[in-house]
Amino acid sequence: MSERMKKMLLYIFVILLCLGLGISIGMIVNGNQKNNNNDNNSNDTKTETVINPRPDGALEELDKKYEKDYTYEIVDNYFVAYKYDKGSQKYHYLNSFLCGEGCEIASYVHFTYENLDKGLVVVTSSDYRNYLFDFNKGLLGVFDYIESLEIGNEYKYFVVGNDDYTSLLTLDGKELYKLKGELTDTTIAGNEGLDAYMYSINDDLIVYKENDKFGLLKLSTGDKIIPAEFEYLRLIYYGNNKFNTDFVKVKENNKWYVYNIKSKEKSINTGYDQILTIYNNTLVVEDNKNIYFKDLLGNNIINESIKVNKSFDDIDWDWEFLTDDISFKIEDNYIYILDSIYKENLYYSFEDDYIEEDGITYNNILDYISKGGKNIKAYQYDIKSKKITSLN
């Protein structure tokens, strides 16, 4: 073979070698790019949905009668979620998370959250950790406490807390805002729960607590309407799921005052043992075991008062039940005050407007009195005529 032919073959070999290396490098780069893209897509997916592997001891499918779209079981400290499949007519494994010893659906004084139509639950464990879990998306968060905000029987938000911070979440776990301190006092009356007179979804208001003082927030945004500078603050309720949006009541030196939300100042300088309601410009207060009717400047509308059997604490009066002896109802232009001789077999519901005593049902307070009922002392205040009448 001539020297010229050898040089030509060597030249061709070098060219082919370079081409091969180039193709190999390109394939590696493309492969890495694909892997990176897959990793990124995987991460994107994980932010939306986390499907955890089925724990040992959990079934692949439950042969259980259909009740809701989702169901669950607790296996070896795992909360195991299942979803109903119409084709096989069985519940199939969907998701799980380790919830710790003694985990169960959370049941507090004010709420139990278990929505098996949507696949969303609040779970608690014996170490007082609280879990917000979406059957499809996975664990949305672990908190020191979780409370619900609802309107009627429909849940709208979750209030969650960790350490010194509290957040407002949507039902799918989205954080609307975060606040240093507490959105509400979660230890009121010794209950771990929200008091019904500390928020109104319709009016976009919620009480918050910061540095052991209370103020008022705009619920949807977290804007501070009233700074946290009072011993206590509560919304003023007047029945039918309605609150006064012009005034709240604030507590200072163990007395309650009317506070104007717009002008951000006390409306009157007189404090009372309890402010019960403001309705149609009538202020109803209790002081020294007497109920008074006043105007919004604190002047007595009439000189008469109603003597009651006890002074009111912060939350021991109720618009629906007589279990605390004294109850109220606002209807049209009347305010009714009901003072009961407490009996275990006496029940009154303002919501349904009936009385039951000794197995006999009465349509309302007037029906009860007309038929000789004597265990409820009833008063009627006419807002227009400004008169108090004893109904029995």
Residue 226 lies in a domain: no
- Output the CA–CA distances (angstroms, integers) from residue 46 to 43, 135, 348, in the order listed: 5, 14, 52
pLDDT tens track, the chain, 392 positions? 555 555 554 555 545 444 454 444 444 434 444 333 333 333 333 346 888 999 999 999 998 999 999 999 999 999 999 999 999 999 999 999 999 899 999 876 566 789 999 999 999 999 889 999 999 999 999 999 888 888 877 889 999 998 889 999 999 899 999 999 888 876 654 445 567 778 999 999 999 999 999 999 999 999 999 999 999 999 998 877 788 999 999 999 999 999 999 999 999 999 999 998 999 999 999 999 899 999 999 999 998 899 887 777 654 444 444 555 677 888 888 998 888 776 777 887 766 678 888 889 999 888 999 998 888 888 999 999 999 999 98
- What 3-state class would DSSP assign to 7? helix
Domain count, the chain: 1
How far is residue 346's CA from residue 39's CA, in Å, rounded to a whole number?
Answer: 66
Q: Are 335 and 383 in contact (CB under 8 A)?
A: yes
How far is residue 186's CA from residue 183's CA, in Å, rounded to a whole number?
Answer: 9
- CA 46, 51, 53: angle at the middle one, nearest 5? 130
For the CA atoms of the chain, what is the radius of gyration? 32
Residue 359 lies in a domain: no
Per DSSP bridges, beta strands 213-218 and 265-266 are: unpaired
One-letter identity of residue 58: A
Residue 216 lies in a domain: no
Residue 80 lies in a domain: yes
Q: Taking the model in full, what pTM does it have?
A: 0.76
How far is residue 3's CA from residue 57's CA, in Å, rounded to a whole number?
Answer: 77
Q: Strand pairing partners for 379? A: 337, 390
How far is residue 47's CA from residue 132's CA, in Å, rounded to a whole number?
Answer: 15
Structural domain of residue 88, as residue ranges?
52-140
Q: Pick the closest to residue 261 from 283, 285, 235, 237 (CA basis).
A: 235
Residue 60 lies in a domain: yes
Residue 349 lies in a domain: no
One-letter identity of residue 41: N
Residue 124 lies in a domain: yes
